[in-house]
Structures are given as structure tokens and as C-alpha cells.
Amino acid sequence: MNDLNKYSGEREQALNQALEAMYFGFKAMIAEPDKTLHTLGLSRVHHRILFFIARSSHCSVGDLLKLLQASKQYIHKPLRTLVDQGYVITTPDKQDKRIKRLTLSAKGSELEAKLSGGQREHFQRVFDEVGAEAEMGWRKVMQALSKS
């Protein structure tokens, strides 16, 4: 069976609806943060870095790479920008000076809270609307997607 005929018409339609929901849901979640980031000359990868450093304060660059499942090349320039603009502070590790520890500055914490805070509020409104069972179902789907 080739990929063009892999699903029945109804199943393909349902899967396309899932793809559309993912696309438009993601678009709604990033709209406001993207506007803010754009005014600062930053992008989603900058937000992603800020978000994970905020939740893993004093992580190393290597730890951040693992969290983001990204290469050094992917985060090097955006991380450098965040450091240069005063959003992220790097400090040498106490035991191994070659390792850089990352924390958000007050400016970085404020920006991350603004960007992610609106998204948390958006999720809260939606989860309140759909209920706990739907929220748990959504979480299961997202966890399964992240493993595949």
C-alpha cells in the first residue's frame, strides 16, 4: 500500500482536521509572544531559550541543549544575542570553569514572564472551558507526539 492510499477517506479527513487544529491552535498560542518578540528583534527560539532557562536556572549550555533537543549551532547565535542584550547571565561553574551556567537577569525574567505568562493564561482559559478530562487527553496526545 503506498502512502497516497494509506488511509480511508474518512480517516484521512479526520487526520487532516487534527493537523488543522494543531496548526491553528499553535498559531493562536504564539501570536502575542511573536508580536512582542518581533518588536525586540527576537524570534521564537529566543523565547524557547528564555522559557527553559527560567525553569532550569543555573543549567549549563549542555543541559540546555539536551532540554531543547537541539544542536550547539542551533542555539549559539540566539543565546549570544540574549546574553549580549542582557536577558541571560552566564557564570563559570564553580568546579569546572569551562562550563557556563545560565540564569535569567531581571530583564530576562520579566520578558519571559510576559511571553509565557500570556500563554499560560491562554491555556488556563481553554482548560477551564474544556474540562479536566479533555486537558488530560490533550496532555497524553502531546506527550505521545513528543516521543515519536
Q: How many domains does the chain have?
A: 1
Evaluate if pTM is beyond 0.95.
no
The whole-chain average pLDDT of the chain stands at 94
pLDDT at 2 over 80: no
Query: Residue 92: beta bridge partners?
Result: 100
Is 4 contained in some domain?
no
What number of other Cβ atoms are within 10 A of residue 26's Cβ? 10
Domain that holds residue 28: 12-147
Tell which phi-psi region holds residue 8, choosing left (phi > 0), alpha (psi between -120 and 50) or beta.
beta
Q: Is 5 buried (19+), middle (13-18) or exposed (0-12) by CB count in 10 A?
A: exposed
* 3-state DSSP assignment of residue 88: strand
Is 73 contained in some domain?
yes
pLDDT at 1 over 80: no
Residue ranges of the alpha helices (H) in the chain? 9-39, 44-55, 61-68, 72-84, 106-130, 132-147
Integer CA distances (angstroms), 53 to 49, 74, 83, in order: 6, 16, 12
Is 127 contained in some domain?
yes
Pairwise CA distance, residues 32 & 27, whole Å: 10
Is 133 contained in some domain?
yes
* 3-state DSSP assignment of residue 95: coil
Is 5 contained in some domain?
no
CATH number of the domain that residue 54 is part of: 1.10.10.10
Q: Are 108 and 82 in contact (CB under 8 A)?
A: yes
Is 82 contained in some domain?
yes
Is 3 contained in some domain?
no
Is 2 contained in some domain?
no
pLDDT tens-digit profile of 106-138? 999 999 999 999 999 999 999 999 999 999 999
Eight-class DSSP state of 42: -
